[in-house]
Structure 1
Amino acid sequence: MFSKELQELDHNTVIYMIDELQDQLDEAKGQLDEAKGQLDEANATISEKDAAISMKDATIADLQLKIKELASRLSK
Structure 2
Amino acid sequence: MAVTVRLFARLREIAGADELARPTADSVAGVWQGLVTEWPALGPYADSLSCAVNAQYARMTTAVRDGDEVAFLPPVSGG
TM-score of the two chains, using structure 2 as the length reference: 0.18
More helix by share: 1
More strand by share: 2
Higher relative contact order (CA 8 A, sep 6+): 2
**Rg larger in 1 or in 2?**
1
